[in-house]
Amino acid sequence: MNIPYKNDVGTVLLVDCAADISGATVAKLLIKKPSEKEVEWICSIHSEDKNIYLKDVDPNIERYPRSERQAMPAIVSRRLKYIIKEGDLDEVGYYIGNAYVELPMWRGRGETFKFRVSD
């Protein structure tokens, strides 16, 4: 696992939405910094080979059973991608976030996640 540090730039965050988000018209991360300041980070949809995705998110075949793995298309678009910019990681501590997407028939937040930024 990569450890993000204060003032890092260029670190790639991939956030799994566990569903096809290829049709999303809005894709962002809603982030609360350690100081409680809330920010939005605009994301792109990360499309990748199914085998690379599964190796990364479910290497022990615990999340997606064989039938679901076989039913997935060859290219999956289930993750948001954000590249850390100057000023994003300007505080040490825990950052709390949610994926947020808007699709033609649904919009909303994903599960809450957190990560720690070290000094």
Assign 86 a pLDDT band (cuts: 50, 70, 90): very high
Q: What's this model's pTM, rounded to 2 decimal places?
A: 0.92
Q: What percent of the chain has pLDDT over 70?
A: 99
What pairing do the DSSP bridges indicate for beta strands 93-103 and 106-117? antiparallel
Q: Where are the domains of the chain?
A: 12-117
3 has pLDDT over 90: no
pLDDT (tens digit, 9 = 90+) per residue, 30-85?
A: 999 999 999 999 999 999 999 999 999 999 999 999 999 999 999 999 999 999 99
